[in-house]
Structure 1
Amino acid sequence: MSAFLETMIARAKADKQTIVLPEGNDERTLAAAEQILADDLADLIILGSPDQIAGAGYRLDGARIIDPLTSELRAPFAEELARLRAAKGMTVDEAMALMDNELYFGMMMVKMGEAGGLVSGACHSTGDVLRPALQILKTAPGASMVSSFFIMNVPDCDLGHAGTFLFSDCGLEVQPDADRLAQIALNAEKAWASLIDDADPVIAMLSHSSYGSAKNDDADKVVRATAKVKELAPDLAVDGELQLDAAIVPEIGAAKAPTSPVAGRANVLVFPDIDAGNIGYKLVQRLAKAEALGPILQGIAAPVNDLSRGCTAEDIVGVVAITAVQAQNK
């Protein structure tokens, strides 16, 4: 386990939060829940059939197990959802039908204060998780969009923050323009600051070009995004466009971008599009044996986090710890 994850778990335990796990029909979720409860990391609400969950054989003493199909919370949740979506024409009957969906029910638990955050995605797509989050919880104040990030912990690495990096966006925003790329960087800065309190964010806006070494529209997009971030947050340590090696390796940064305040010491890496981000995080995860925690959603008004459908029970424990820390910050 990385030092970062140990810190997240310690912080989660120090001020326990209630996290809802909608995927009570998933074995990995139940195995993770057993570990979370044994370690006293968070209070849990697990959604699903109590009989089926009990029959799976996991030790879940202390968890609150709720069946969305029979819960007495269905009616008040449906009424509130209909009110929230009234401008879109939603009726109470339509909202009641959505309470059959464990993700909508779980988001309403967060909205109504029954839980501080939600973790899902082991057997749902990112779109399935994001849709009810945006409809019910909406974006955070000051955020114009939702994006995602991974915390990457690279073993035996002295780059970044002792081997810890934030990669964004690797899972949600496909082809951001310059303005949206700037917002991803601003979201990433807030995410880093909320989770890591012993190092300031140092943000590199990545490209295949460093300081004009290539001239094309893709590189220019990153240049314009960097200028936008500096305009909106002039005190941030942010620079671009930078190639990956120039961003994180001190001697290469000094050679390729000697005047940069960021080159060679970046710990937050903002990728130009989802292709670069998704390929990049998976390369580091598989070849460098890095711990990859995410995708964590940023820009939603309450902590809601996605999981890769290839996640392990240990991955779920880590994301629950991060979600609990985010809930503390709220």
Structure 2
Amino acid sequence: MSAATSEEEKRKIAVESELHHRKAEKAYTQLQSDTEWAKANADCHVISVDLQGVMYTPNLTHSNVYYQRQLSNFNLCIQELGKEDPAYMCVWHEGIAHRGSIEVASCILKWVKTKFTPLTKPEVRKLIIFSDRCCGQNNNWRMLNLMSMLISMGYFTQVEQKFMVSGHSFLPCDRSFATIEKRRKVSVLHTPDDVSKMILEAQPAKPFKVMRMQCEDFRHLPDSVLKRPAGLQITSVRWLKVTVEDPWNLYARQSHSLFEGWKSWLISKPKQGATPQPPYFASHYPRAYESPLPIKKNKRQDLMTMLNYLPAAARSFYKSLQSE
């Protein structure tokens, strides 16, 4: 506001700020409403999905290694709302996988297969995913393909994704992350195994469920089975939906308002002159990584300088890491 050079510019900024906050409030209202609906309906499942900030190991404080590069550990939280189940924490490190759309989609798929079995007619089951707008992880065509694939596999009859407003994307996962961070600050974390144990013990009254992701868990899930309609900007919509009744169309809304009509987009790839068919997904997808990922050479050298300050088991782990 202070950067505005005229009253007109100040008014414009104030109006835009007010509109931005109203959109954020609408998103939180939707989150609360869907949570209440999930409490009252066993066939509705609402989750928030978010990646925690990177946790580094080993977390040594010795002055000789304080500025050395450490191993990056990742944690994707999948927290179900309106149910009694604890949050799932999917953990891995940089020697196993990266932290992009493949990893997020693979974690969600493993969570679904862990929690549910395919439906039998006339059963119905709805999944609503709340996430931030991060394009490289959550708001992308691989996630949309996953939503459609979960319909095709028979796990759900309807899948929706709703995006929080940038700058106001505090999700229930963040409360869980705060609990983990509080525990992390008083924990000695030599290896990724210590990170998993720390997360497991961070909330004794209702322990988190820790899913240790391995190389074979990350699959090269598709991002191009669905047709990408001209004119559809998935990074500009607030609400996406796919259904078993109309699997060849994607439904989108520009806001979280229930009064806004859905706009449908054809996402199947029909042959010329043929009737559109539901998207076809393979029953199996290859591993995203055939072997452990090599870490940077300089980082491995730094890790090797820390070995003298670590117990034998931790030394063996770091020596086993592949490097470039």
Query: Between Structure 1 and Structure 2, which shows a larger proportion of helix residues?
Result: 1
Whether the TM-score (by the shorter chain) exceeds 0.5 is no
TM-score when scaled to structure 2? 0.24
Q: Larger C-alpha radius of gyration, 1 or 2?
A: 2
Higher RCO (C-alpha 8 Å, min separation 6): 1
TM-score when scaled to structure 1? 0.24
